[in-house]
Amino acid sequence: QKEVEQNSGPLSVPEGAIASLNCTYSDRVSQSFFWYRQYSGKSPELIMSIYSNGDKEDGRFTAQLNKASQYVSLLIRDSQPSDSATYLCAVQGGYQKVTFGIGTKLQVIP
């Protein structure tokens, strides 16, 4: 059973702080990794993808991948109340199939 583990939260951070979201996965042959943001009542929206070890930055978002530790994280700098949402970690294995974690609910407190 291929699993993607996330802490369901909620994770509360004050406005302007760095939010750190973490994800572990069980399938060692996983090839690419995604972070999605899902607002309540909406469908998931792709934030970033990453497939090489290290950091990948896009604006206020940084994704970090460590394949040896089977660990993916997402950092959100200068968190805003509009960042309050559920963040889904997703892991792609063979045949382009993606497994999603349960998601971490982030609350940014003004």
Q: Minimum distance from CB of 59 to another protein (Å)?
A: 17
Q: Minimum distance from CB of 88 to another protein (Å)?
A: 7
CB 99 within 8 A of CB 3: yes
Q: Minimum distance from CB of 110 to another protein (Å)?
A: 26
**If we measure between CA atoms, which residue out of 16, 4, 8 comes closest to residue 109?**
16
Tokens of 106: 């982030």
d(CA 3, CA 59): 29
Near another protein in 17-36, by CB under 8 A: 31-32, 34
Is residue 106 part of the contact set for another protein (CB under 8 A)? no
Is residue 103 part of the contact set for another protein (CB under 8 A)? yes
